[in-house]
Structure 1
């Protein structure tokens, strides 16, 4: 870890201290690191739109809206290569909250999210993307191949920032 020194004018320092207090940061270093990570993530996603990401897509919808639930399910099936998992919560007799975990090229994830959020009856849509490096790795979980511990592959994702 490197130690750096920065100089800020008084109004910026006051605003930063307010930001830290509002967010509950205990020290300036962690707040600065998070702000830098956030900016670097934004830059990564804007300069490499085809780069890999992991994302959450959350939205509320009225399940009484004509055929909406079927359209949303169909959209997820049509993009099964991006959809990792979906959590469905009943908020009321009419409204549901869904959170979809997505993985893949960020331009495709964004396009899918835009399609879902543009559906009539979908409200409060939000997409959070995290750029990642994706690599496949082979390994074993045990030590004895004779006991059925064959080598297998997993996709490993690492945040880029």
Structure 2
């Protein structure tokens, strides 16, 4: 059997959960609009596998880094730009918007080895003046531009 054919086949397995956790899973299925528990568990498994790849650093993935920061922090925007320039092969695009008061939100579209993206996210989110930061990964990469 080919790898492609194996990918498309469904496999059944049994999972035992405490009733309280099953109740929470059912609530998530309902609130997010999943068609079934199986669909929700598959989505959770995919997310877990992506996170595992990030820890191992073996997969090339795409994702976003979201930052909220105080733009009045002296030298912060220059520092964030320097970090992005140093990692220019990972940063596909970025956008920032003005929020209330002194806050900006910046979202970077990134692609590369999961461990490299985690390193980039860590560098950005630990800068003085960054209030929050989060790396979100997907399972696939962005097709190359022609």
User: Residues 115-135 of structure 1, C-alpha deviation per residue, up to 9 Å, x if partnerless?
Assistant: 11000000111111234368x
Q: Equivalent residue for 1:17?
A: 26
Q: Secondary structure at the match of 1:57?
A: strand
Alpha-carbon distance between aligned partners in 2 of 1:71 and 1:23, rounded to the nearest angstrom: 38
**How far apart are 1:18 and its partner, in Å?**
2.2
Q: Equivalent residue for 1:30?
A: 39
Does the alignment pair 1:155 with 2:139? no
If the length of structure 2 is used for normalisation, what is the TM-score?
Answer: 0.79
Alpha-carbon distance between aligned partners in 1 of 2:105 and 2:73, rounded to the nearest angstrom: 14
| Greater share of residues in helix | 2
Contact 1:45 1:131 in 2 (8 A): no
Q: Equivalent residue for 1:142?
A: none
Structure 2: runs of 5 or more not aligned: 1-8
| CA radius of gyration, larger in | 1
Higher relative contact order (CA 8 A, sep 6+): 2
Q: Equivalent residue for 2:100?
A: 92
| Greater share of residues in strand | 1
- Matched residue pairs, number? 136
Q: Equivalent residue for 1:79?
A: 87
If the length of structure 1 is used for normalisation, what is the TM-score?
Answer: 0.72
**4+ runs of 1 displaced by more than 4 Å?**
none
Q: Equivalent residue for 1:42?
A: 51
Contact 1:62 1:96 in 2 (8 A): yes
1:44/1:79 CA distance change after superposition, 3 Å: closer
**How far apart are 1:5 and its partner, in Å?**
5.2
1:74/1:130 CA distance change after superposition, 3 Å: same
User: Residues 8-63 of structure 1, C-alpha deviation per residue, up to 9 Å, x if partnerless?
Assistant: 4561433321232233323223212212212222333333x143121200011111
Structure 1: runs of 5 or more not aligned: 135-153, 157-161
Which sits farther off after the overlay, 9-18 or 27-36?
Answer: 9-18
